[in-house]
Amino acid sequence: MNLFNGTAATAARQNAPVTCRPHCAACCIAPSISSPIPGMPGGKPAGVRCIQLDNHSRCRLFGQPERPPVCVSLRPGPDLCGSDTQDALAILTRLETATRPQARTHG
Ligand code: SF4
Ligand code: SF4
């Protein structure tokens, strides 16, 4: 995944921390994740719901060593999470597109 290492995500981490919004899961859907996830050995494409999300949109791997480091390192922040889930999905989709390798080579 490019998103969680990107400038915007860094900026988000530097903002005052906010609590992860219950049942949001936008950052488990919109971004791609390049590292293996149990059940998704090739990682997760952008816009695809992670297989480890349960029916309440919570991570089944929370607190477990199998949870990808990129997920562990993510910190909620206003620049990332927006005002609601739809807002977060839009922000994260924009960031995902902006941090694609081909986008960077032209930017
Ligand atoms: S986008 Fe923010 S609020 Fe939504 S699941 Fe991710 S960290 Fe939580
Ligand atoms: S492993 Fe957990 S935190 Fe990471 S994308 Fe999947 S559901 Fe979300």
Residues 19 and 30: beta-carbon distance below 8 Å: no
Nearest CA to ligand 1 atom 7: 76
pLDDT at 13: 44
Q: What is the pLDDT of residues 34-45, one digit of tens each?
A: 999 999 999 999
pLDDT given for residue 17 in this prediction = 56
Q: Give the C-alpha separation, 93 to 73, whole Å.
A: 19
The model's pLDDT over 55-81, given as tens digits with 9 standing for 90+, comes to: 999 999 999 999 999 999 999 999 999
In the predicted model, is pLDDT for residue 96 greater than 90? yes
- The DSSP H or E segment spanning 70 is helix 69-73
Q: Whole-prediction pTM value?
A: 0.82
- Domains of the chain: which residue ranges? 3-101
Output the ligand 2 site: residues, CB below 6 A: 28, 33, 37, 50, 52-53, 59, 61, 67-68, 71
